């Protein structure tokens, strides 16, 4: 657990002051608890048995027994009240620091997650990440609060009591503490086992959360294929293995506390036996035996509390590992040292001998060479899976190529700060991804400082205006999760408007019109043509209407550029890939998207 604290040291730093004051109060409260049995000793030894009394700092010689009793009671009440006050201040200061610190960790975790590359996110399940941000953080919080309010005071109490006991009678103390070693052995063994079990449980819970998220996200498919029973069964299978791991941890914990009680009880029996003998033989006063017994009772209490803490901290440590896994992972797309913010780019794009592989040894892009002048419109065509989306992902550095370089205005993109690079590229992704917010906000998302008129203008250009006018709430219409309340084509148009608002010198449109009817498509292509003026644009398209206007057409197949040139030039190549692609469209139903490789091949 100390390791965990060290790991999160930087998060603790801002609360050092509060924590120090809190720790001081807690220690004060422990010291007062330590003093609490002493008035009892005075009552037993001096009031009841009439022994002469000696109290440090206070002169009580000559007090009657009744006065001594009053004094002892007053002292006792004062100790209790003061102790409570310190306890309150200490607990509040330390626990609130813990809660705040954990909130900071949660924010840092979220910030870090967002900045991880798409490659990282492709290998993680969203639900699992969510469970790290939510429940794992919660467990770390439990652990911190417990360790502040249980560990510190109880360790202080333990140390204090043992010291006082040693001062009173060291040999007796040794006997009383004989149970210590077996107790610690027990704690050690159980802590490891509980930690193992809860680590497993957390992993499985993360998987369960991921699974739930995926099924609910695709509930339309589940219902369409009537796979509810199948999903229920899958869920309950995963849920029961999670349950198993959690039960294991609970079982260990349940067994652990009684074991501690047994050991503590044995200790008390020994002390009672030996202590009574000593009182009988006059080696020890009855009052001191009572002090001893009361310490021992409260000595075992902190031990038990600490053993409870074992459980919470074992769970917390397992969770902290899961959080650290994310915090410690370096994002694989990073600024090179010395990267600078670029001024507004002109949009000259060059790729030199670029190779990219998602999985090592299996490149999906080979030897990509490319030179695009500022302001050119490049159409990218090719069968499904040819690598088109991957290719355009290299420009904003969603991925870095394993070989070769990507240059913007003559600079390696890695020497431009990521923020600055991405601020100059507007993207319409293949899947229009929208947020649960108003239509207006979804468009304005493209640029933080966008003005209202920019947003409305973009909406008009992207033909969003057409369908928004029919909505009762207009641009304030709320979209629901992922824009669920709109049709595919409507989502796509909002996604285009969002890119327009960005006003970037480089535009990437990944099949911007795939969900539109031919009429809307024609209108949008006209609108886009105006937009593309003066900007470098990459348009992935399957349709003739977009491709024919491009300054350059790149034909991808199997991760390579197999043909390139203007539309007219490519049409001249007899039996060429491009030509057969368009022939198929013109010969068959015009403007049919080529969606499968097999179909395309058949056209050759």
Binding status of residue 430 toward ligand ATP by CB under 6 A: yes
The full 3-state SS of 97-149, as one line of letters, equals HHHHHHHHHHHHHHHHHHHCCHHHHHHCCHHHHHHHHHHHHHHHHHHHHHHHH
Binders of ligand ATP among residues 107 to 126 (CB under 6 A) are 122
How far apart are the C-alpha atoms of 594 and 235, rounded to whole Å? 38
> Which one of ligand ATP, Mg ion, none is in contact with 39 (Cβ closer than 5 to 8 A by kind)?
none
**355 vs 436, which CB is nearer to ligand ATP?**
355
Neighbouring-strand partners of residue 552? 378
Binding status of residue 513 toward ligand ATP by CB under 6 A: no
Tokens 């509810």 found at: 228
> Which one of ligand ATP, Mg ion, none is in contact with 390 (Cβ closer than 5 to 8 A by kind)?
ligand ATP
242: tokens are: 């999670």
Minimum distance, C-beta of residue 122 to ligand ATP, in the bound complex (Å): 4
| Interface residue with ligand ATP, options 116, 322, 388, 493 (CB under 6 A) | 388
In 10 A of CB 568, how many CB atoms? 9
Which residues fall within 8 angstroms of residue 584, CB to CB, at 6 or more apart? 592, 594, 599, 600, 603
The answer to whether 581 and 604 have CB atoms below 8 angstroms apart is: no
Q: For the chain, give percent helix, strand, coil, nearest 5.
A: 65, 10, 25
Residue 445 dihedral angles phi and psi, to the nearest 5°: -55, -25
**313 vs 389, which CB is nearer to Mg ion?**
389
Q: What is the DSSP letter of 428?
A: E
In 10 A of CB 233, how many CB atoms? 11
Binding status of residue 364 toward ligand ATP by CB under 6 A: yes
| Interface residue with Mg ion, options 253, 389, 423, 442 (CB under 5 A) | 389
Binders of Mg ion among residues 267 to 296 (CB under 5 A) are none
| Interface residue with ligand ATP, options 389, 442, 477, 546 (CB under 6 A) | 389
Single out the segment in contact with ligand ATP by CB under 6 A; choices: 5-13, 192-200, 371-379, 386-394: 386-394
> Which one of ligand ATP, Mg ion, none is in contact with 385 (Cβ closer than 5 to 8 A by kind)?
ligand ATP
How far apart are the C-alpha atoms of 371 and 560, rounded to whole Å? 15
Binding status of residue 515 toward ligand ATP by CB under 6 A: no
Minimum distance, C-beta of residue 359 to ligand ATP, in the bound complex (Å): 6
Single out the segment in contact with Mg ion by CB under 5 A; choices: 41-49, 78-86, 295-303, 423-431: 423-431
Minimum distance, C-beta of residue 430 to ligand ATP, in the bound complex (Å): 6
Binding status of residue 513 toward Mg ion by CB under 5 A: no
Binding status of residue 387 toward ligand ATP by CB under 6 A: yes
Single out the segment in contact with ligand ATP by CB under 6 A; choices: 207-215, 223-231, 385-393, 515-523: 385-393
Binders of ligand ATP among residues 559 to 578 (CB under 6 A) are none
**462 vs 594, which CB is nearer to ligand ATP?**
594
Binding status of residue 390 toward ligand ATP by CB under 6 A: yes
Cα–Cα nearest to 428, from 527, 518, 497: 497
Binders of Mg ion among residues 428 to 447 (CB under 5 A) are 430
Minimum distance, C-beta of residue 409 to ligand ATP, in the bound complex (Å): 25
How far apart are the C-alpha atoms of 375 and 409, rounded to whole Å? 12
Residue 183 dihedral angles phi and psi, to the nearest 5°: -60, -45
The alpha carbon dihedral of 295, 300, 305, 307 has a sign of positive
240: tokens are: 């029961």
Name the residues that contact ligand ATP, by CB under 6 A.
Answer: 122, 358, 364, 382, 384-390, 430
Binding site for Mg ion (CB under 5 A): 389, 430
């Amino acid at each position: 657990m100390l390791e965990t604290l060290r790991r999160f040291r930087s998060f603790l730093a801002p609360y050092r002051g509060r924590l120090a004051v809190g720790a001081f109060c807690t220690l004060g409260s422990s010291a007062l608890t330590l003093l609490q049995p002493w008035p009892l000793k005075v009552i037993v030894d001096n009031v009841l048995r009439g022994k002469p009394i000696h109290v440090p700092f206070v002169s009580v010689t000559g007090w009657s027994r009744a006065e001594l009793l009053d004094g002892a009671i007053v002292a006792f009440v004062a100790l209790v009240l003061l102790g409570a006050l310190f306890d309150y201040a200490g607990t509040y200061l330390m626990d609130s620091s813990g809660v705040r610190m954990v909130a900071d960790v949660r924010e840092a975790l979220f910030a870090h997650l967002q900045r991880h590359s798409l490659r990282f996110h492709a290998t993680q399940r969203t639900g699992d990440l969510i469970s790290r941000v939510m429940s794992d953080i919660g467990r770390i919080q439990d652990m911190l609060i417990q360790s502040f309010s249980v560990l510190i005071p109880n360790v202080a109490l333990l140390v204090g009591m043992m010291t006082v006991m040693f001062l009173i009678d060291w040999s007796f103390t040794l006997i009383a503490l004989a149970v210590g070693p077996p107790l610690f052995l027990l704690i050690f063994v159980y802590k490891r086992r509980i930690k193992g079990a809860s680590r497993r449980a957390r992993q499985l819970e993360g998987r369960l959360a991921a699974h739930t998220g995926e099924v609910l996200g695709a509930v339309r498919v589940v219902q369409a294929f009537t796979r509810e029973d199948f999903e229920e069964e899958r869920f309950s299978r995963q849920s029961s293995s999670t349950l198993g791991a959690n039960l294991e941890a609970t079982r260990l914990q349940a067994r652990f506390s009684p074991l501690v009680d047994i050991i503590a009880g044995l200790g008390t029996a020994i002390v009672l036996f030996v202590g009574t003998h000593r009182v009988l033989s006059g080696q020890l006063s009855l009052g001191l035996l009572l002090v001893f017994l009361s310490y021992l009772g409260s000595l075992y209490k902190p031990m038990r509390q600490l053993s409870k803490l074992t459980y919470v901290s074992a769970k917390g440590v397992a969770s902290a590992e899961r959080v650290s896994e994310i915090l410690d992972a370096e994002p694989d797309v990073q600024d090179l040292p010395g990267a600078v913010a670029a001024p507004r780019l002109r949009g000259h794009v060059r790729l030199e001998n670029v190779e990219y592989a998602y999985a090592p040894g299996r490149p999906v892009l080979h030897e990509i060479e490319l030179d695009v002048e500022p302001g050119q419109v490049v159409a990218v065509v090719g069968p499904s899976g040819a690598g088109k989306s991957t290719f355009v992902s290299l420009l904003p550095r969603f991925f870095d190529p394993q070989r070769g370089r990507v240059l913007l205005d003559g600079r390696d993109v890695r020497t431009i700060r990521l923020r600055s690079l991405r601020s100059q590229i507007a993207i319409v992704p293949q899947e229009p991804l929208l947020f649960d917010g108003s239509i207006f906000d979804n468009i304005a998302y493209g640029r933080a400082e966008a003005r209202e008129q920019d947003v409305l203008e973009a909406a008009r250009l992207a033909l969003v205006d057409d369908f928004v006018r029919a909505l009762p709430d207009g641009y304030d219409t709320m979209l629901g999760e992922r824009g669920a309340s709109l049709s595919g084509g409507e989502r796509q148009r909002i996604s285009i408007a969002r890119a327009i608002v960005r006003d970037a010198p480089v535009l990437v449109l990944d099949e911007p019109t795939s969900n539109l009817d031919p009429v809307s498509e024609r209108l949008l292509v006209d609108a886009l043509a105006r937009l593309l003026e003066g900007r470098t644009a990459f348009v992935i398209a399957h349709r003739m209407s977009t491709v024919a206007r491009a300054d350059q057409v790149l034909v991808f197949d199997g991760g390579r550029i197999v043909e390139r040139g203007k539309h007219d030039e490519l049409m001249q190549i007899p039996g060429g890939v491009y030509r057969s692609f368009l022939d198929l469209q013109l010969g068959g139903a015009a403007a049919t998207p080529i969606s499968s490789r097999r179909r395309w091949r058949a056209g050759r």
